[in-house]
Structures are given as C-alpha cells and as structure tokens.
Chain A
Amino acid sequence: MPIEVVLLFAWMLVIAFLAFIACTFEDLESDMGSQSNPNSQVQLAAQVGQINRFFNKAISGEPLSNAMYCVTAGTIAWILLMQLEPLVPGEEWKAAVLAIPIGVLGAVVINIIFSTTSHCGRTAAMKRFEQPIYLDVLYGHLMPIGAHAFMTTFCITCIAYIQSNIGTLSGNPALDHPFALPLLGFIWGITVGSIGSSTGDVHYGTEREFQDRPFGEGKRVVYHGKITRYASCGIRTQRDIAGFCAKFGGPCTGMTFGLIILFTNWTTLVGMQLGGFLPNLPAFTAIGDMAAIWTIVLGLLIVAALAVGHLIFVKWVRKKCGPFVGE
C-alpha cells in the first residue's frame, strides 16, 4: 500500500481520537455550567422555591454556542496563519502550533464573557423567587468552564486544521478540503454540540435523579429542582457534578461522537480505496461512482450491525432490570 494512503488512514484515526476528546469535554462543560438540557433543572429549581448554588449558563443550545466558540477560534487561527505561514516556508506546521492555541484562547475569553452575562442576567430576572447572585459561585465556575471549553475548542480547531490540510499532510495536495478553516469550524462546532446535547447528561437525566425510582418511572415536577440542592456531603455545586459525570457520561458522549466520525470517515476512505480513487484522484469518470457505491454498502453494513447489537442489548437490559413501569 502506498505511503500516502497509509498516512490518510492515520490522519483519519487522529481526527477520530480528537473527536472523542472534544465531545467528552463538551459534555462535561455543559454539565459544569448547566447548559442546554440540564439548564431546565436549574431554571426550574428557583421557580419552585428550591434556591440553589448552581451556575446558570444559558448561552442558547449547545450546537449554536459550540459553533460560536469554534468559529471564533477558527477565524483568529486563520488570520494568524495567513500572517505567520509566509515566515516559515516549507514548515507551515510551525505557524499552526502558535496560531491554533491563540485562536482557542480568544474563543475561551468569549465563552467566559457570555457565561458571565447569562448567569447574572438570568439570576437577576428571577428576583421574585428570592434567588441571590452568589459571587463565589460566579467566580468559582468561570475557570473550570473556560478550561473545559478550551479542550473542546482546541480539539475541534485541530480537526478543522487537519481536514483543511489533509492532502498536504499526507502528500497529495489535491485532497485538501475546499472549505476555509472558519467554515469547517462552524460545521464541526454544530456537530459536536448536537452530539453533546443529545447524549450524556447522566447527572440530570437518568442516573442520579431517578436512581431511587422503579425502572423507567418518571418523577413529579415539584421534585425536579431538588437535584440542585444537596450533595452527599454539603451543598451541591457543579464542580461535584463534573467529577460525577467524568466517570461515565462524558466518555460515553465522547465515544458516540468518536465512533460517528470514525465510521463515516473510514467508510469513505475504504470506498475510495476500493473504487481505485487513491492515492491519486483520477479525472472524473465512472470510477467515482464505484467509490460512492462501496462507501454506501459499507455504511449500510455498519448500520445493520449496530441495529442488531442495540436490539440484543435492550432485550438483555429489560430481562435483567425488569419491565418498564406500566407495561
């Protein structure tokens, strides 16, 4: 197998690994600041009288806010790359080593600004429920939120950079992605936010809130805010929750995103290989159709395997934990 093809597969694995890290930290960041899905608990708690010491980070949903951080990082990195790359001809990676972290730092500053405004604004708008602004909660959560967002945005910007230069990095510049860095950051940000929003959230969703209830049972709305009040020892804050979720929820979310990226890219590359598209892109012929057909067939096989696996798993869970309430 030619070295270009091996390098392409290697970079694809690097992208999948970075996606795993990114989505793990994305889920933990949303738990730390109670964004998106967990936010409904925090927003509701004060309204049903459960005054809490939680951070109310209501920066829209996760897809949009992550798109914003990644676009900011991508734009700043792109501007810096444009200035720095001519200084190191032939060794453009040196410019990226400097440009990407600076861009991500800019995105983290924006994240912290938006977190501050949303926490203060939402708490001030709940005046009649007697929810005070605790300054130690405000200051104490900003740095952890920023640190988790740094990891997410850094990995995503790296993925966007690798993708927009994947041909150059693996020795065949014709394979470079046609989109610019900020646009790729936008698309990847939306994706990582969507997966982080739909998966994970074990603290607010199922594991902790319903752990003393029969399998599959819901809870009365009046008890919903209680989850924000007391921990095993003392008053609960979100710094405990990140530790709780880092054991299962975060890595689970990361694995979801990493597997999605792995399967889609792997099928594409294998399809291109089987269709005779690699290592050199031929002029557009019927051979391109063969690459697409191989990709689709492989994708369908993976989907079928996953569906069968899920079916077996759900059957096993129902057998082990008993029927749902009401069945």
Chain B
Amino acid sequence: MTVTPAVIEEEAPTKKGLSFKFPPEETEMGIIAGIIGAVIVIFTGLPAVIKGVGLILVLLWGMDSVRKTSKYGLGTGVPSIGVLSTGYGVVGALMGLAVAEYGRVGQLYPAVLLGVIVMGVIGLVSGVISNSEKFIAMKIPRLERGMMELGMAGTLAILLECSIVTGSLNFNAVVNQVMNTGIIALMFIFNCFAMLHPYNACLGPDERRERTRMCAVEISGLICILLGFAQLALGTSPYGPLDAVSMIVFGAIVFAVFFWKFIKACMDEAYETVGTGMIKTIE
C-alpha cells in the first residue's frame, strides 16, 4: 500500500475567515495586556467587570506566550507549558501578596507588582538557561521572551482572580477566602486551561492565530462566570451582590459570542463541513 502525501497546494482563499484582530501583533498584545493588567491589579477597588476585562486581556497574552513557546514542539508539550505558566503565577502571586502591605494607599496595592517583575526575571533566567549552549542547549527560537511573558502573564492572572474573589489584595483575606476555601484549585486549573487549551485544541498544520485567540476569549468568559458565582457565594464585593451578578452576565455574554464565533470559524475553515458521509477510500 502506498500512502500519497495528501498535501495540496494552497489555493487563493475563496471565503474570508471570521477575523478577530485586536491587537494584531504579538508584541503589541504583550505591551497592552501587561500595562492594562498591571493597572487593574493595583486598583483593587474597581468593579469586578473591569477586572474581568483585564483578566481576558492577560489570559490572551498568556495564550500567545504558550503558542510562541510551544510552536516548535510536536504538540505533546503544550499542556505542560500552560501548567508551568500557572505554577509561576501562583508563586509570583504569593510573593506579591506577601509584600502587598508596603506602600499601600487605601485600596491601591502597587507593591504586588514586585511578584510580577520577579517572576518575569525568573522566567527569563530559566529561558536563557534552557537555550544556552553551556546548559541544556534546547535552541528554541525566542524561548527566553516566551518564558518571561509566561511568568508575568501567569502572575497577573492569578492576582486579578484573587482580587476579583476577595475584593482586595490583603494577604489574610486572600488566605482565608481563596486558599482555605479551596477556590485556589479552581483558579489554578482554569488559568491553566485558558492558556493551554486554545493552542492545544487548535494544534495542527493549519492553525491560525486569530481563530486560536477566539477560543482563549471564550474560556476566559467561562472563568468570569465561575468566579462570579464564587464571589456571590462569599459575598466579599464592596458593591454588593450586583457586582457578582454583572460579572456572571458579562462572562456569559463573552462566552456565548466567542463560542459561536469560534465554532463558526472552524466550520468555515475546515476542509469541508458535512452532515454525514463516507470516509475516503484508499486503494
């Protein structure tokens, strides 16, 4: 039996795929998400919906970094990169929370960004060590930058989620309401999935960045719904239950819109979408 390589020449696209081009470049995405995420983390008194917007941006950035880092692999390493990022995130968030009280002005916690910076440095160092000839010598292009962004995005995401659930970044409040209640497990696993699932699910030779990003936004919407419920149950918001309800509604709208867009994009861009059919016969 001979198996002919089924690669066909790329023809001019007849159908223009659904696009989601905000912001277009990976670097622009990193800068925008990093700055907006950092500002929203510092201002803990903001309503949950605004923190949710920041969370979506940060998770998009994280997904971009996972894509960048694991693009050169076979696909088996994608989940571990996502988990690595969230692992950085938990350590960095704890470090940031431990120093949060220094320089606090009312509901402003600028010192938590120390955790983000330290995790960026640790990510950079581990990226350099992995790529360096003297140590592991993996020689993956742009690994250093990818690892640095993984650490920073993971830390910002965990800090934002803590800030959504507890309404502040006080260390004792976070320990009582996030760690002791077990919500940290929910945050950990969904952070992982928001970063690793889009690229893992869209993996293949015809993966397209815009389509993958839609999946990331969709999962971020799911996280917003779940965190809204957790916030409602704990009753920690300074704005009362309306804050949590608006978070749930926001998450549901984001999820519904982007789930529909993602599935439509997949069905449009697949080789063919058929109701049913036989498989291609091979002689």
- Report A's interface with B, CB cutoff 8 A: 43, 48-53, 58-61, 64, 67-68, 71-72, 74-76, 78-79, 82-83, 110, 113-114, 116-118, 120-136, 179-186, 222, 229, 235
B278 and A235 form a contact (CB under 8 A): yes
Residues of A within 8 A of B183 (CB): 75, 182
> Which residue of chain B lies nearest to A127 when distances are taken between CB atoms in the complex?
B206
> Which residue of chain B lies nearest to A235 when distances are taken between CB atoms in the complex?
B279
Of A50, A82, A123, A181, which one neighbours B282 at CB under 8 angstroms? A50
Given contacts A79-B233, A129-B6, contact A58 B201 (CB under 8 A): yes
Given contacts A125-B204, A125-B206, contact A60 B196 (CB under 8 A): yes
B201 and A75 form a contact (CB under 8 A): no
> Which residue of chain A lies nearest to B180 when distances are taken between CB atoms in the complex?
A180
Contact with A along B150-188 (1 / 0, CB 8 A): 000000000000000000000000000000111111101
Closest CB of chain B to A120's CB: distance in Å? Answer: 4
Given contacts A49-B6, A134-B276, A182-B186, contact A60 B193 (CB under 8 A): yes
A135 and B230 form a contact (CB under 8 A): no
B233 and A121 form a contact (CB under 8 A): no
Of B184, B201, B226, which one neighbours A59 at CB under 8 angstroms? B201
Residue B47 at the chain A interface, CB threshold 8 Å: no
Closest CB of chain A to B124's CB: distance in Å? Answer: 26
Residues of A within 8 A of B197 (CB): 59-60, 114, 117-118
B267 and A68 form a contact (CB under 8 A): no
- Give Cα A49–Cα B8 distance, bound, in whole angstroms: 12
B189 and A71 form a contact (CB under 8 A): yes
Given contacts A114-B197, A134-B277, A136-B275, contact A125 B182 (CB under 8 A): no
B274 and A61 form a contact (CB under 8 A): no
Residues of A within 8 A of B189 (CB): 64, 67-68, 71, 186
Of B185, B198, B211, B269, which one neighbours A185 at CB under 8 angstroms? B185
B280 and A130 form a contact (CB under 8 A): yes
B83 and A110 form a contact (CB under 8 A): no
Of A51, A68, A79, A121, which one neighbours B202 at CB under 8 angstroms? A121
Residues of A within 8 A of B280 (CB): 51, 130
Given contacts A49-B6, A50-B282, contact A120 B263 (CB under 8 A): yes
Given contacts A64-B192, A135-B273, A182-B182, contact A49 B3 (CB under 8 A): yes
- Give Cα A118–Cα B79 distance, bound, in whole angstroms: 13
Chain B contacts with A in 194-211, Cβ cutoff 8 A: 196-198, 200-207, 211
B184 and A183 form a contact (CB under 8 A): yes
Of residues A53, A83, A124, which shows the largest number of chain B Cβ atoms within 10 Å of its Cβ? A124
B186 and A72 form a contact (CB under 8 A): yes
Residue B272 at the chain A interface, CB threshold 8 Å: yes
Closest CB of chain B to A76's CB: distance in Å? Answer: 7
Given contacts A74-B182, A113-B259, contact A132 B273 (CB under 8 A): yes
- Give Cα A229–Cα B259 distance, bound, in whole angstroms: 30
> Which residue of chain A lies nearest to B7 when distances are taken between CB atoms in the complex?
A128
- Give Cα A123–Cα B207 distance, bound, in whole angstroms: 10
Residue B100 at the chain A interface, CB threshold 8 Å: no
Residue B247 at the chain A interface, CB threshold 8 Å: no
B282 and A128 form a contact (CB under 8 A): no
Residues of B within 8 A of A114 (CB): 193, 197, 201
- Give Cα A122–Cα B197 distance, bound, in whole angstroms: 11
Main secondary structure of the interface of A (DSSP, over half): helix
> Which residue of chain B lies nearest to A79 when distances are taken between CB atoms in the complex?
B233
B79 and A117 form a contact (CB under 8 A): no
Residues of B within 8 A of A229 (CB): 279
Task: List 8 contacting pairs A-B, 8 Å CB cutoff, sorted by A.
Answer: A121-B198, A122-B203, A124-B202, A126-B204, A129-B7, A133-B267, A136-B275, A182-B185
A123 and B266 form a contact (CB under 8 A): yes
Residue B97 at the chain A interface, CB threshold 8 Å: no
- Give Cα A129–Cα B205 distance, bound, in whole angstroms: 9
Residues of A within 8 A of B230 (CB): 75, 79
Residue B190 at the chain A interface, CB threshold 8 Å: yes
Given contacts A120-B266, A128-B8, contact A133 B273 (CB under 8 A): yes
B181 and A180 form a contact (CB under 8 A): yes
B206 and A126 form a contact (CB under 8 A): yes
B83 and A123 form a contact (CB under 8 A): no
Residues of B within 8 A of A179 (CB): 182
Which 9 pairs across A and B sit closest by C-beta, in order of nearness?
A: A125-B204, A180-B182, A182-B182, A120-B266, A60-B79, A132-B272, A186-B185, A183-B182, A118-B201
Contact with A along B214-245 (1 / 0, CB 8 A): 01001000100010011001000000000000
A sample of 4 more A-B contacts (CB under 8 A), given A117-B218, A132-B271, is: A49-B6, A120-B270, A130-B8, A235-B278
Of residues B8, B79, B83, B180, which shows the largest number of chain A Cβ atoms within 10 Å of its Cβ? B79
- Give Cα A131–Cα B269 distance, bound, in whole angstroms: 11
- Give Cα A235–Cα B278 distance, bound, in whole angstroms: 8
B278 and A76 form a contact (CB under 8 A): no
Closest CB of chain A to B196's CB: distance in Å? Answer: 6
- Give Cα A188–Cα B238 distance, bound, in whole angstroms: 35
A121 and B201 form a contact (CB under 8 A): yes
- Give Cα A48–Cα B229 distance, bound, in whole angstroms: 46
Closest CB of chain A to B77's CB: distance in Å? Answer: 11
Given contacts A60-B197, A122-B204, contact A136 B276 (CB under 8 A): yes
Residues of B within 8 A of A184 (CB): 182
Residues of B within 8 A of A126 (CB): 204-206, 271
Residues of A within 8 A of B229 (CB): 75-76, 79
